[in-house]
Chain A
Amino acid sequence: MTMIPRLLHVALVVVLVIFGGFPVYWMASTALSTNAELYNTGQSAGLQLQNLPSLLSELSKVPLLRWLTNTSIVALGTTVLSLTLGALAGYALSRFRFRGKGIIGFLLFMTQVVPEALILVPLYAMFISLGLLNSLWGLVLANVGFSLPVAAFIIKGAIDAVPYEIEEAAAVDNCPRFGVLTMVILPIIAPSLAAAAIIAFFAGWNEYLFAATFLMDNTMWPASVGLASFIGQYETPLSAVMGAALIFSLPAVVFFLIIQRKIVAGITSGAVKG
């Protein structure tokens, strides 16, 4: 690469980093401003690190770590359950021929058309009878209901693209049927699994409506509901909200950075001719 295109390349990367990083910087800047500044004079552009102790003391008044743990349980539970069931459903939809296959695919798709708010009340009634109210696992199940069809469709599409001969080769090699899925197919479609994992994880991480409705006890709240609880009748401590939101977003960013490395194209190349 010659000098000028390289400089342009670097300049473009710098612009994109600023564009992507600015909201995060602004969150940090807001968190380190005082409420007086935020409501009256406006926040300064720099990071006022001298306000860090007061921010931390403000955040220590709420069970932030507990909320984050709850969020993690819900998000990881949603991800693991969605991927496990989605892999089985996706494999069956892709490889097996059975009566009603088209209808099942259509019904799975239809779950994405229904808004969460529409089924909130029936779901609430159902959760009462199943004893799932005020339970993180109940919340995981509700989230899986929405993220599983997406995961199943992503995985089905990925398995469709895997040549069937690879499965036949595994069968000849004495690999049991379930082993074909776990040892051959799933590693090959790892990029799609990672994409489905990201979708399921963020669906669980960001979910608010079900959590706010089904969880009464504030020690059971995930961070999304906890953040909303900062809003008071007379005032909202904006700097604390931003500080908590910043902490809330960090684990999700770390998860994304770990998983997105798996999203690489072309893992099936070399399997068959062409």
Chain B
Amino acid sequence: MPQITLGNIRKSFGSSTVIPDFSAQIEDGEFLVLLGPSGCGKSTLLRMIAGLSDISGGDLRFDGTAVNEWTPSQRGVAFVFQSYALYPHMTVRENIAFPLIMDAFQKWYHIPVVNSVMRWKLMRRPDIAERTDHIARQLELTPMMDRRPANLSGGQRQRVALARSLVRDPSLYLLDEPLSNLDAKLRTQMRSEISALHKRVKKTFIYVTHDQVEAMTMATKIIVMNKGEIQQIGTPDEIYANPANTFVARFVGAPPMNLLNVRQHGTVLSLDGGAEWTHPGILPTKQASLGIRPENLNLRPEGEGLIPIEVSLVERLGAETLLGCRMVSKAASETLLGEDLIFVRVQGNPQIEASARFGLSYAADDVRWYDQTSGQAVTVCDNSPLSRCA
């Protein structure tokens, strides 16, 4: 099983550069998710790893060997396409067995009639038939082996595509948004099936998605990308808890991290429009944006807490409720500040209506700080043993 090294990988289409310089290392057995918005170059990167797109510059290495010039089949990878890409004229059985038949293919099989006869014979070869049946059983495709893709549901087609990629037992699985065409229920089911598959086969998976739920639930490591550049590499927990910059903070999490462009005056923080409060912890040494996750904000009765707010939006999700709030100016208590909504996540389904007023409090440890110019995370140093810059 290969260790994959991407060294200064670059991809250009004519004069436009999609990926300027990408370097990363993917360890054996990892479930790496490339996460980013549409058009950020994550699928292009996956296609370069698969050998389906040329690499404009840099080195792609499998276990130290440069594989830039290798064909997709030489790389021995499995690729699951977003659009399934099944062979519509073949049955499920033929689709799954196709890679095995191709492995046994000889040049003279190109002769038209010989081709059909040999494929028919290869399909019945015990090892190929057994392997095909085994994979089909694993993915619960046995009852539909003689059907064509047109007669299958979206989930079944996706399972056939997975089965086809599994059958050759490759060391690297590349999955390009494989669940994006499925409905929510099926997506949840397939998500757990793919995770279970990864645990079972213990191979390296590289999975492209723009869906952070998929990334957070399946990945052992996430690379967040934007405009062809790496924004952050880390475990799902690291990425969620400590976003490296404001892009990651806004992209990961639904709703995203609240970011407030505050001004500092001693220990007092203020916003345009007059809202101000005393921060309960240490502040960074220069002006920075305050970032806090919605679940780390606590609702207090009006007049209590640090920040007075008015509820503008209530989204009841059953197990939890999302409140979209606006800050109330301290000087003129009728004025609502024009910043973005501050989202607060509340457990359960409290009977809160829009225009209700509350106070918000938070713990200083839950706050993340970001440079207001570069957007990069700023570490706050104190003398406590828990300090993040200790």
Contact = CB atoms under 8 A, between A and B. Distances in A.
A166 B83 CA distance: 9
A172 B50 contact: yes
A207 to B, nearest CB: 26
Nearest to A84: B112
Most A CB contacts (10 A, CB to CB) among B84, B85, B151, B168 go to B85
Contacts, number: 100
B52 interface: yes
Given A188-B89, A190-B89, A174 B150 contact: no
Given A173-B98, A174-B102, A190-B89, A270 B82 contact: no
Given A171-B71, A172-B50, A172-B52, A270 B112 contact: no
Contacts of B89: 187-188, 190, 267
A10 interface: no
A268 B86 CA distance: 9
Q: How large, as a class, is the contact surface on chain B?
A: 35 or more
A273 B154 CA distance: 8
A174 B72 CA distance: 7
B183 interface: no
Nearest to B165: A172
A244 B157 CA distance: 54
Contacts of B99: 173-174
Nearest to A266: B150
Q: How large, as a class, is the contact surface on chain A?
A: 20 to 34
B115 interface: yes
Contact of A176 (B52, B83, B105, B151): B105
Contacts of B84: 271-273
A190 B103 CA distance: 25
Contact of B85 (A179, A267, A271, A274): A271
Nearest to B148: A270
Interface stretch (B73-81, B210-218, B246-254): B73-81
Contact of A270 (B71, B105, B150): B150
Nearest to B73: A174
A182 B79 contact: no
A270 B86 contact: yes
B152 interface: yes
Interface in B151-207: 151-152, 154, 157, 164, 168, 181
A169 B181 contact: no
Contact of A168 (B85, B87, B102, B181): B85
A166 B87 contact: yes
A169 B85 contact: yes
Contacts of A245: none
B88 A267 contact: yes
Contact of B110 (A165, A179, A271): A179
Interface string B55-83: 00000000000000001110001110111
Given A172-B72, A174-B103, A270 B88 contact: yes
Nearest to B150: A270
B77 to A, nearest CB: 7
Most A CB contacts (10 A, CB to CB) among B50, B102, B168 go to B102
A269 to B, nearest CB: 4
B236 interface: no
Contacts of B164: 169, 173
A175 B102 contact: yes
A63 interface: no
A163 B83 contact: yes
Most A CB contacts (10 A, CB to CB) among B78, B110, B168 go to B110
A178 B148 CA distance: 24
Nearest to B180: A273
A178 B71 CA distance: 15
Enumerate the 3 nearest inter-chain pairs by beta-carbon distance, A residue then B residue, closest first: A270-B150, A270-B149, A272-B83
13 contacts: A163-B85, A169-B87, A169-B164, A172-B73, A178-B110, A179-B109, A179-B110, A188-B87, A270-B86, A270-B148, A271-B84, A271-B87, A272-B84
Given A169-B81, A169-B86, A267-B88, 9 more contacts: A163-B85, A168-B72, A172-B72, A174-B102, A269-B88, A270-B151, A270-B152, A272-B83, A274-B83
